[in-house]
Structure 1
Amino acid sequence: MTFIQIIDYRTNRPEEVDQLLTDWINASDALRTAKRTRVCRDRDDPTHYMEMLEFESYADAAVNSELAVSNATHEAFVPLCTDGPRFINLDVVRDERLSS
């Protein structure tokens, strides 16, 4: 079952957060189990962001979380947040493309 983790946070330092994500992507290339990431900014609050990480399963997400590079990135990420981060863990129960 597909698993999505949402990281909900606020930051006044979005460029630094973006660079951390780029660095994590590069450093975890052969190790990570995440299949996709999307970072979204709230149109009504430019300090509010959500990152959505997609995994094939919850087990894959757990493996990804245990990577040393993921832990180092998390440790560097938290001080860049003004609120959070808050983690929301979701099992996908329906996934349907609505346009061709």
Structure 2
Amino acid sequence: MARKVADCRRFPSESGCTLTLVGEEAEVLRAAVEHAVSVHQHDDTPQLREQIRGLLEDEHATGPDGMNFVQLIEFKTGKREQLGDLLDEWEEATGGKRTATRTVLTQEHEKPGIYYEFVEFPSYEEAMRNSRLPETDALSRKMRDLCEEGPTFHDLDVVRAEAL
């Protein structure tokens, strides 16, 4: 039987909740109902249980940490400190909304000023949802202003990922 996922990030809330539950359907449903009651102040009713059951999704096979899709962004800038400040600003502004699960910023060893950012997502669809956030759009515009050339984006499906 496929494991199920309940992800609060898919449903905007005043609290900006980011909880994700994964497991067998009965245990995810039980935990999601308890969470909805204790955190989101819903009443535990048969209707709530059916609504939550209808929102559960099948867990997809993933790499480590739920990584199925990576966006590689390649760019050139001499403004590393400003870039760091901009990325920190985006992280704070998108807390509870972003679908990116991890990011790694690298600089080419032999060519300072050439950067590659790896941004991991659970899926391509989640990456596109993240791209549509107003905060991501603002980041993109500001980042282009810092770059000597426009960034190059590479959309990559994860074929194999292992923790070593």
* TM-score, length basis structure 1: 0.94
Rounded to whole Å, the distance in 2 between the matches of 1:44 and 1:26 is 32
Displacement of 1:65 in angstroms is 0.2
Report the AA paired with residue 39 of structure 1.
L
Over residues 22-60 of structure 1, what are the superposed CA-to-partner deviations in whole Å (9 max), with x where a residue is unaligned? Answer: 000000001000000000011101110011100000000
Displacement of 1:97 in angstroms is 2.3
Q: Which runs of 5+ in 2 are unaligned?
A: 1-61, 63-67
- Please say if 1:86 is aligned against 2:148: no
Which structure's residues are more often strand, by fraction?
A: 1
Name the counterpart of 2:114.
48
Which is higher, the Rg of structure 1 or of structure 2?
2
Rounded to whole Å, the distance in 1 between the matches of 2:86 and 2:111 is 21
The number of residues matched between the two structures is 98
Rounded to whole Å, the distance in 1 between the matches of 2:73 and 2:91 is 16
Which structure's residues are more often helix, by fraction?
A: 2
Which of these residues, 95, 103, 109, is aligned with residue 29 of structure 1?
95
The CA RMSD over aligned residues, in Å, is: 0.9
Over residues 67-93 of structure 1, what are the superposed CA-to-partner deviations in whole Å (9 max), with x where a residue is unaligned? Answer: 000001111110110122000110001
Report the AA paired with residue 63 of structure 1.
R
Name the counterpart of 1:66.
132
The 4+ residue runs of structure 1 with deviation greater than 6 A are none
Identity %: 39
